[in-house]
Structure 1
């Protein structure tokens, strides 16, 4: 899971960004270890119908829709012939649907269409990037419906893949994503994706500004070490406790 690819990201996007030279080195690793990139939809479809996957499959994803994905990542992906998936938060992209609040310079719709034309899968990432497990049903359905409708209108193709903002979901959110027409969805969890996780809870590793090439190679080859992901996993568990507490408080207030 990548986010921004740029030299000088805004402070809000810095930690989850990678420099273009580092991204190039990471693609070198993918090629060197003999991994074969596939899109999110290709992976999920293969696991769903039992069709074969290529040797050492890996999914390259970009969340949110930062401008550097077009400027820096696309030429490198094209060089290697690697497919990828971009999960767009439609209300953050530059253009007529912009709701404000984006953490850095984002893609415009012409750029997103160019990515799609180059073979990049375009997936949904909600409209305004909220924590979906913390919002009521009407807004949840709005976030999913509007995101899917806008991507369909702008690209001419309905997205089938979704990524949860912040990686957060629960049973209610996953069911809503399925009902909205998405066939598969990605979380985070900083772990390998496995078919037994089900098509709506597939896991990913986070690639950060400080991710070393050794740690990246271990993730790509399916042998991550605890030190590579310990901080991320601890934060994920801590946030889960906080969110469950907030949900419990809201339910009590609603009941009274």
Structure 2
């Protein structure tokens, strides 16, 4: 799971940004290891039908919709003939529907269309990138449907795949994503995707600014993932307690109202 690919990321995206040089080196490593990239729709479809995956498969994804995916990542993907999936927050992209919430320089729709034309699968990532499990039912549905309708209108194709903003989901959110018409969805989890996770909770491993070549190779091979993200898990567990407390408070306030 990538976010920004940039030479000079800002403070908001720096931790989850990789340099163009690092991205090119990582893709060359995948090629050297004989990995076969697939997009999200192809992965889910093969698991649904029981058809075998290609040998040594790997899924390359980008969240949010930063401009560097077009400027820096696309030429490298094209060089290797690699499939990938880009999940866009439609209200963050430049141009029509822009809400101004993008954290750095974002893609515009012409660039998204070029990515789609080059074979990159375009998936949904909500409209304004909220924590979906903190929304009421109507707002949740609006975020999902708005995103799907905008992508469809801009590209002329219905997006099949979705990624949860911040990786947060719940049974209610996963049901809403399915009811909105998305056929599969990705979380984070910092673990390898497994068929038993089901099509709406597939996990990914985060690639970030400090991911060196040796660590990247270990992550791709599924080695030492738990150790690499041990600190992240502790922070996530702590924040989960805070988020649950906030949710309880909001429900209490709504019930009194």
Interval of TM-score (by shorter of Structure 1 and Structure 2): over 0.9
- Distance of 2:71 and 2:183 partners within structure 1: 29
Q: Which residue of 1 aligns with 2:239?
A: 239
Structure 2 equivalent of residue 44 of structure 1: 44
Q: Deviations over 1:24-51 (max 9, x none)?
A: 0110111122211100111111111101
Deviation at 1:149, TM superposition (A): 0.3
The offset of 1:251, in angstroms, is 2.2
1:71-107 C-alpha deviation (Å, 9 max, x unpaired)? 0000000000001000000000000100012110000
Matches within 5 A, 1:53-132: 53-132=53-132
Superposed displacement of residue 59, structure 1 = 0.4
What is the SS of the residue equivalent to 2:82?
coil
State the alpha-carbon separation in 2 of the partners of residues 225 and 175 from structure 1: 29
Secondary structure, aligned partner of 2:37? strand
Q: Secondary structure at the match of 2:229?
A: helix
5 Å-filtered alignment, 1:164-243, equals: 164-243=164-243
**1:26 partnered with 2:26:** yes
CA contact (8 A) 2:38 2:58 kept: yes
| 2: CA distance, partners of 1:28 / 1:80 | 8
Deviation at 1:15, TM superposition (A): 0.6
Q: Which runs of 5+ in 1 are unaligned?
A: none
When the two chains are superposed, the root-mean-square deviation of aligned CA atoms in Å is 1.0
Provide the rounded CA distance (Å) in 1 between the counterparts of 2:172 and 2:88. 22
Q: Which runs of 5+ in 2 are unaligned?
A: none
Q: Is the 8 A contact 2:125 2:163 kept in 1?
A: yes
Contact 2:160 2:181 in 1 (8 A): yes
Aligned residues, how many?
A: 256
Q: Hey, what's the Cα distance between the residues in 2 that align with 1:185 and 1:224? A: 25
What SS does the corresponding residue of 1:12 show, helix, strand or coil?
coil
Q: Is the 8 A contact 2:26 2:213 kept in 1?
A: yes
Cα deviations by residue, 1:162-214 (Å, 9 ceiling, x for unpaired):
00000000011100000000000000010111011111000001110001111
Cα displacement (A) at 1:237: 1.8
Q: TM-score, normalised by structure 1?
A: 0.98
Alignment partners' CA distance in 1, 2:35 and 2:70: 23
* 8 Å CA contact retained: 1:16, 1:209: yes
Whole-Å separation in 1 of the counterparts to 2:45 and 2:130: 28
> Which one is further off, 213-222 or 65-74?
213-222
Conserved? CA contact 1:47–1:195, under 8 Å: yes
2:46 and 2:234 map into 1 onto residues whose CA distance is 32
